[in-house]
Amino acid sequence: MTKTIATLQTHPLVAQLEAVQVDHPFSELGYVETAQGPVIRAWYPHAVSVWVLSLEGQHSQQMQCVDYRGLFELSSAQDFVDGYQLRVEYSQDTWQGIDPYAFKQNVYQGLEQLDKSPKSWYQVLGAQLMSFSLADHPISGVRFVVYAPNASSVSVIGDFNFWDGRRHPMERCLDGHWILFVPDLKAGIRYKYELKDRFGAQLAHKADPVGFYAEQYPSFASVVWDHNHYQWHDQNWQDREVDSLHQPMSIYEVHIGSWKRKHNSFGWASLSYRELADELISYVKKMGYTHIELMPIAEYPFDGSWGYQPVGLFAPTSRYGTPDDFKYFIDCAHQAGIAVIIDWVVAHFPADSHGLARFDGTPLYEYEDPRRGWHKDWNSYIYDFGRETVRRFLISSALIWFDYYHVDGIRVDAVASMLYWDYSREEGEWIPNINGGNENYEAISLLKWLNEEVYREFPKAITVAEESTAFAGVSRPTYTGGLGFGFKWNMGWMHDSLEYMAQDPLFRKYHHDEITFSMVYNYDENFVLPLSHDEVVHGKGSLLGKMPGDEWQQVANLRAYTAFMYAHPGKKLNFMGNEIAQVSEWNHDGSIDWDILQYERHHGQYLLTQRLNHLYREQPALYEADYEHQGFHWIDYGDWERSIIAFERLSLDGSDRLLCVCNFTPSTYENYRIGVPEAGTYQVILNTDDQQYWGSGYLSLSCFESQNKPWHNRAHSISLSLPPLACLYLKVVEV
């Protein structure tokens, strides 16, 4: 090994390279035109010698050390104008490969698309496995592109350069992006970005905002991933006909980390994506659900946030496996005939130093004024929904889940907090819009654009809004002035019905409107009826715990309420544990209390939920016309004295009919008459008081003959025996 370092030999460029203050390394490194002619310049701190080799390795020349800190030059660069590689010799190691700064023109490929399509952001930005031609030789590696317009310098650091920001400074593009192609890198390499703000102060090392995979604490490093590696097997699913408004949708909401746990040598651990593909999907299929909704799956740093404080909107969390493992989970769900919805959180983001907060030393992603950019309830930043780059970044993050991961839908969290400047703020803590109002026009515009892009790119997709106010047109098309969502959570139904069920049955008659009012506004939106995780945390107790009465009455109330929900217009969502009448409040650090299924009252709720799901899918009257007036008729909503309601559900063409009668008191009623739409024999197809569900078994008859006796403005009627705290479904079997 020839030692070429001259003591105290210096070069004016090195001070900038050493301090990582170079923003245009393409002008200084690699093949460079100088006043003395072309040179090849290489920067390798701590190197003993550097050689330039032809691409075939047959011709080589040693470079001169022009600065003892690691700057080398070769003056006879014209011999390697068509391409070259380097051999770098250290005191105890040697590296040989293609110089990243040999690629200066063709690496910009695709950047022009960033202003044309949000979809291009995840296709162009981040760490992309690519191949570029050098003297007709295809060279594979990773191109890094990151947006940081206010940084004075950016370097990519990682396993490949000892996490040394001096080694790979990136080139600043005119539009604020920084770019560098590093040859020979492969999937699995860890990396981050080292940025300096506009004043030259170094910031915390940042994870890639468009990273596809990330490590957990303490490194939070981004990881290069190959999205072309996974082979999908869900083509039949992708080719199916989809009409979400008129098809059954029974959603099982799941927190992956606490659905079920396994015991290993380190204690109790969550199941992996692949383990869930076996256990969760088979369970959901057996239970009859049509959809799984996953609480936020995008990468997040803190377990206690349940994923609602994400830092990596383009990466499934690595807590449970790799991106390919997550794809396998989705693939298996589709092969089992189950759709997957994910929670997508863009209302805010956490202040973790490795994330988006003051990414380039400025509020690049967040509103600068804390009266708009800081959410005090969640101690998190709020995206600047009016900034074009942020808007494209967010919409791109939604599209990638449909494109690369084949999810079927996204549920947008905390939409109300996005729509209003004064959400959870006191007077003086917010800034009105240009018209003096509280609507955030920028967020409204973003949500409209989001839905237009999703449905344009993926027509079979669904979008769902968790929106808790009376904002008009959430699930109406944008061309009519709506936000464009496919569905909206019916928070009013959830709140009112749970308030009603929490009342002692003796006093429910004074709250009768709480169980009937939802039909007044039912057709304003395409509603999903949610009994979500929000109702079983933060001291609210379990769903079972909200029900009044003794042990038997509690589960009877829950059974009746569950059946009422399935008969009420709107798609259904149930959080895990509700289906077995979980006793304890949900704990994200634990698991569902599966062992309680050994007890009859919990097994009864399990069987009832399973029966309801299958019945729901079998009866078009229960799902086809959720959003059309002809799909629902009140039979009697006015019997407040006895807390009884009766209504009829119909399919779109009216050929399939189902009657629902609910008795929300522990009293039994003999000869209770209700009007029916036609003469015939009415069969009970569901009775929540059945003994198999741990009911009393009060109802001894399964069929009731109609009588030619007008009742409830109908020409025919039947006389029922109503069980206590029960819901009945009836269908005509003979006319």
Model pTM score = 0.96
Q: Is 453 a catalytic residue?
A: no
- The CATH number of the structural domain formed by 106-223 is 2.60.40.10
Q: Is 656 a catalytic residue?
A: no
What digits encode the pLDDT tens for the residues 67-103? 999 999 999 888 888 889 999 999 999 999 999 999 9
Whether 290 has a pLDDT exceeding 60, the answer reads yes
Asked if 377 and 431 count as a contact pair (C-beta separation under 8 A), the reply is no
Average pLDDT over residues 658-687: 96
Torsion of CA 432, 433, 435, 436, to 10 degrees: 0
Whether 296 has a pLDDT exceeding 90, the answer reads yes
Average pLDDT over residues 324-347: 98
Top pLDDT among 265 and 103 is at 103
Q: What is the pLDDT of residue 11?
A: 85
Whether 35 has a pLDDT exceeding 90, the answer reads no
Average pLDDT over residues 37-47: 93
What digits encode the pLDDT tens for the residues 414-473? 999 999 999 999 999 999 999 999 999 999 999 999 999 999 999 999 999 999 999 999
Closest CA to 251 of 339, 331, 327: 339
Q: What is the pLDDT of residue 58?
A: 78
Average pLDDT over residues 707-715: 95
Average pLDDT over residues 698-702: 90
If you average pLDDT over every residue of the chain, what do you get? 95
Strand order from edge to edge, sheet including 726-734: 632-639, 644-650, 657-663, 726-734, 681-687, 703-705
Whether 4 has a pLDDT exceeding 60, the answer reads no
Report the percentage of the chain scoring pLDDT > 90.
92
CATH of the structural domain 14-102, one choice from 3.40.50.970, 3.40.50.410, 2.60.40.10, 1.10.150.530: 2.60.40.10
Q: What is the pLDDT of residue 76?
A: 84
What digits encode the pLDDT tens for the residues 477-532? 999 999 999 999 999 999 999 999 999 999 999 999 999 999 999 999 999 999 99
Q: Is the dihedral of CA 279, 403, 141, 139 positive or negative?
A: positive
Q: What is the pLDDT of residue 318?
A: 98
If you search the block for the tokens 């002619």, which residue do you land on? 37
Return d(Cα 84, Cα 30) in angstroms, integer.
Answer: 10
List the catalytic residue out of 466, 626, 648, 690. Answer: 466
What digits encode the pLDDT tens for the residues 162-195? 999 999 999 999 899 999 999 999 999 999 999 9
Average pLDDT over residues 322-344: 98
Q: How far, CA to CA in Å, does 673 sit from each of 472, 625, 686?
A: 39, 26, 18
Whether 65 has a pLDDT exceeding 80, the answer reads yes
- The answer to which of 132-136, 360-364, 482-486 has the lowest mean pLDDT is 132-136
Q: What is the pLDDT of residue 1?
A: 45
Asked if 505 and 483 count as a contact pair (C-beta separation under 8 A), the reply is no
List the catalytic residue out of 171, 413, 648, 689. Answer: 413
Residue 735 confidence class, pLDDT cut points 50, 70, 90? low
Q: What is the pLDDT of residue 444?
A: 98
Average pLDDT over residues 572-591: 97
Q: Classify each residue of 443-466 as buried b or exposed e, where b means 16 or more C-beta atoms within 10 Å of its C-beta.
A: bbebbbbbbebbbebbebbbbbbb
CATH 2.60.40.1180-classified regions of the chain: 630-734
Whether 3 has a pLDDT exceeding 60, the answer reads no
What digits encode the pLDDT tens for the residues 225-238? 999 999 999 999 99
- The CATH number of the structural domain formed by 630-734 is 2.60.40.1180
CATH 2.60.40.10-classified regions of the chain: 14-102, 106-223
